[in-house]
Amino acid sequence: MTAISEAAVHDALRTVQEPELGGDLVSRGMVKSIAVDADHVALTIELTTPACPLKDEITDRIRAALTPLGVGAVDVEWTAAVRRASPQAAQQLVPGVKNIIAVASGKGGVGKTTVSANLAVALAMEGASVGLLDADITGPNVPLMMGVEGQPRATADNRILPLERYGVKVISIQFFVPEGQPIVWRGPLVGGAIQQFLRDVEWGELDYLVVDLPPGTSDAQLTLAQAVPISGTLLVTTPQDVAIADVEKALAMFKRMSVPVLGIVENMSTFVCAHCGEVTEIFGRDGGERFAKRHEIEYFGSIPLDIRVRQGGDAGVPAVAQRDPGPAAEVMRQLARTVAARMSVRAARQAPVLSIS
């Protein structure tokens, strides 16, 4: 039997195409190490996000390429280096943040903050470094849903240290006001608070900063879009017509400001009775999917109504972090992987494929 060489393995990996970014693993610089022991090959592959949803497919393609060499077993170790989807980000207010993901809706009450919190925690669970900025200044609910309380400390140079829970760095105006006190501010104060959270918080090095925007089209959205390059926006709606009508306005606003929209997710789509299994479409049917098709944006699927999501939100335990997460949590974990993948594609389009001989 002919011995398998590292060079032969390296050449075979040139035929393995990255299923979403395009280009082969070698040209993309994703193959970081190759070790051969008889018919056993161990590889280290560097992904563009730790939340990559295509690891199994890449592994299958690697095995298919190496089998003709006589390779019997393949072990793949994954690492990740998240790229910037916005090349200007390094020169902005938050230089350590690679990607800013805005989560927006047109209408209140569609579960936007629930999606924001679960998206941030799910990304962190996949191994990414994540921050969560509560930009809903007059209705800050992120601390409650994340189960985090207290007052942030300041560094020696008077920067704000965010609080942390579930591996996510969190900042909210709620940390700085007495419990139950309303925040009655005009637009300029709202915009100023968001800018301060971007500029003066010690975020450190983050792969993703998730920003939970207030509903509607107002000062918070304008401030964020003008202050930093948003890498992508995730729209949240329910199936009902009134929510669709409002999210349509939000989409138009982001387009007018040249802010990229990643797609839309439909929340609270159906309710499945735990006793009889009957499916009830409480807020209507397929509104988000029809909206996505009409506006030619990606539809990220539907999140069912699940009592565990509500219970976890009230208890400060996001659904994706629960011991018995349920179907809604699994959809949100997949949503996080898909969003991360789309961010990687955006970053890849701005980076040339390496030419390696």
Q: Could you tell me the pTM of the whole model? A: 0.91
3 state SS of 267: strand
Chain mean pLDDT for the chain? 90
Q: Which pLDDT score is estimated for 35? A: 94
Concatenated DSSP letters for 233-247? EEEEE-SSHHHHHHH
Q: Which pLDDT score is estimated for 353? A: 46
Rounded Cα distance, 300 and 266, in Å? 8
Spatial contact of 211 and 133, defined as CB atoms under 8 Å apart? yes
Rounded Cα distance, 219 and 21, in Å? 35
Residue linked to tokens 């009957």: 278
DSSP-assigned beta bridge partners for residue 208: 130
Query: How many CB atoms are located within 10 Å of the residue 329 CB?
Result: 23
β-strand pairing of 130-134 with 168-171: parallel
| DSSP state, residue 68 | G
Nearest C-alpha neighbor of 251 from the set 284, 194, 291: 291
Integer angstrom CA distances of residue 79 from 26, 49, 98, 345: 15, 8, 17, 17
Q: Which pLDDT score is estimated for 179? A: 82
Rounded Cα distance, 280 and 350, in Å? 44
User: Would you place residue 92 in the very low, low, confident or very high pLDDT band (cuts 50, 70, 90)?
Assistant: low
> Residue 49 corresponds to which tokens in the numbers above?
């996000």
User: Would you place residue 88 in the very low, low, confident or very high pLDDT band (cuts 50, 70, 90)?
Assistant: low
User: Would you place residue 275 in the very low, low, confident or very high pLDDT band (cuts 50, 70, 90)?
Assistant: confident
pLDDT tens-place string over residues 122-176:
999 999 999 999 999 989 999 999 999 999 999 999 999 999 999 999 999 999 9
Q: Going by C-beta distance under 8 Å and a sequence separation of 6 or more, which residues neighbour residue 294?
A: none
Rounded Cα distance, 25 and 59, in Å? 11
Concatenated DSSP letters for 314-347? HHT--GGGSSS-HHHHHHHHHHHHHHHHHHHHHH
Signed CA dihedral, 320, 299, 104, 339: sign only: positive
pLDDT tens-place string over residues 116-132:
999 999 999 999 999 99
Q: Which pLDDT score is estimated for 81? A: 92
Domains defined for the chain, CATH in brackets: 6-80 (3.30.300.130), 87-349 (3.40.50.300)
% of the chain beyond a pLDDT of 70: 96
User: Would you place residue 279 in the very low, low, confident or very high pLDDT band (cuts 50, 70, 90)?
Assistant: confident
Residue linked to tokens 């069912």: 304
Phi, psi for residue 157 in degrees, rounded to 5:
-100, 25
Spatial contact of 230 and 259, defined as CB atoms under 8 Å apart? yes
